[in-house]
Amino acid sequence: MDKRIINANRIVVKVGTSSLIHPNGMVNLKTFDELAYTLSALNNQGKELILVSSGAIGVGLNKMHLKKRPTEIGAQQALAAIGQSELMTLFTQRFDHYLTDIAQVLLTHDIFDYPKSNQFVMNTFDCLLRDNVIPIVNENDTVATDELDHKTTFGDNDQLSAIVASHVDADLLIVLSDVDGFYDQNPNKYPDANLISTVNQIDENEFGVAGGTGSRFGTGGMQTKLLAAKRMLDEDRMMVLANGADPRIIFKILAGKSVGTIFQKESVAHE
């Protein structure tokens, strides 16, 4: 058991579209509610939480009664703009229920590369966390297409969550998806795939078995989650990849139980 997980105080949680939207395109109200409950409970315990949430396009598709994500980038951006406010409305309703304040923070991947912007973003996070407000981060899809055009770029919310985790000096990054963790092959294609409970290093072997997205709405698949995990490992931080079907799984993770896949350097694996 790693005490660093139990003692983790500043935690970034990333939730993917596949956890927030049912395969039929409808909003998964259960996930929204359990996520709000779990993060509110942890916030009340004094932990500092940042939620990185995808779902703007998924919610936008549902609102506009569309079955398929359009290929045109401008149309995806328009859907993200429609869906983002709806996404925040859903979060506001559920977090209000648990008496927790939230804030919307829209970022681009490069924002931290500019010292002034970086400082402004950090000031915002510092003030929000000091005031017990949970920032809910998404990429600003209107001005950035990192997440939308995977033919030319490979940015996405998995990596954005890792960038945020490293800049706010988070103790732990938890990535919630529609799989139980990282497998030795894509479990949606190969039913005999085995869950890997601990990963100490990421190289071509791991990338070799990480496939694309499994759902209609997810984007990066396992590749971008591994890139996020690699960034965490390189900085000697920890990441847990777990199933977001019931976000209360976060309580189990923070209790040190073995769920999902933990990415951590070998030196701390048995502390």
Ligand X SMILES: N[C@@H](CCC(=O)OP(=O)(O)O)C(=O)O
- Residues in touch with ligand ADP (CB under 6 A): 16-19, 177-179, 182-183, 185-188, 209-211, 213-215, 218-222
- Residue in 48, 139, 178, 206 binding ligand X, rule: CB under 6 A: 139
Q: Is 212 annotated as a binding residue?
A: no
Question: Is the CB of 128 or the CB of 221 nearer to ligand ADP?
Answer: 221
CB of 89 to ligand ADP, least distance (A): 20
Q: Is 221 annotated as a binding residue?
A: yes
Tell me how far, at minimum, the Cβ of 181 lies from ligand X, in Å: 16
Q: If binding is defined by CB under 6 A, does position 34 make contact with ligand X? A: no
Contact 209, 185 (CB under 8 A): yes
Which of 5, 55, 182, 202 binds ligand X (CB under 6 A)? It is: 55
- Which of ligand X, ligand ADP, none interacts with 188 (beta carbon under 5 to 8 A by kind)? ligand ADP
The pair of structure tokens assigned to 100 is 């927790």
Beta bridge partners of 37: none
Cross-strand partners of 11: 49, 172
Identity of the residue, 176 or 238, whose beta carbon is nearer to ligand ADP in the bound complex? 176
Residue among 218, 244, 247, 260 that touches ligand X (CB under 6 A) = 218
- Find out whether 252 is annotated in a ligand binding site: no
Question: Which residue lies nearer to ligand ADP by CB, 36 or 226?
Answer: 226
Of the two residues 31 and 77, which places its CB atom closer to ligand ADP in the complex?
A: 31
Check whether 232 is labelled as a binding-site residue.
Answer: no
Q: Per the structure block, which two tokens stand in for 45?
A: 């315990």
Ligand-binding site membership of 264 (annotated): no
Cβ at position 58, least distance to ligand X in Å: 6
Q: How far is CA 239 from CA 190, 235, 251, in A?
A: 25, 11, 15
Residue 138 is a binding residue for ligand X (CB under 6 A) = yes
**Contacting ligand X within 97-136 (CB under 6 A):** none
Min dist CB 59 to ligand ADP, Å, is: 13
Q: What is the DSSP string of the chain?
A: --HHHHT--EEEEEE-HHHHB-TTS-B-HHHHHHHHHHHHHHHHTT-EEEEEE--HHHHHHHHTT-SS--SSHHHHHHHHHHHHHHHHHHHHHHHHHTT--EEEEEE-GGGGGSHHHHHHHHHHHHHHHHTT-EEEEEE-TTT--TTT-TTT----HHHHHHHHHHHTT-SEEEEEESSSS-BSS-TTT-TT--B--EE---SHHHHHH-----SSS--SHHHHHHHHHHHHHHTT-EEEEEETTSTTHHHHHHTT---SEEE--HHHHT-
Report whether 117 belongs to an annotated binding site: no
Q: Output the CA angle 181-267-248, nearest 5 degrees.
A: 30
With CB under 6 A as the contact rule, the residue among 80, 90, 134, 174 that binds ligand X is 80
Task: Choose from ligand X, ligand ADP, none: what does 43 bind? Cβ within 5-8 Å by kind.
Answer: none
149 is in an annotated binding site: no
Q: Which residues bind ligand X (CB under 6 A)?
A: 16-18, 54-58, 80, 138-139, 141, 147, 156-157, 218-220
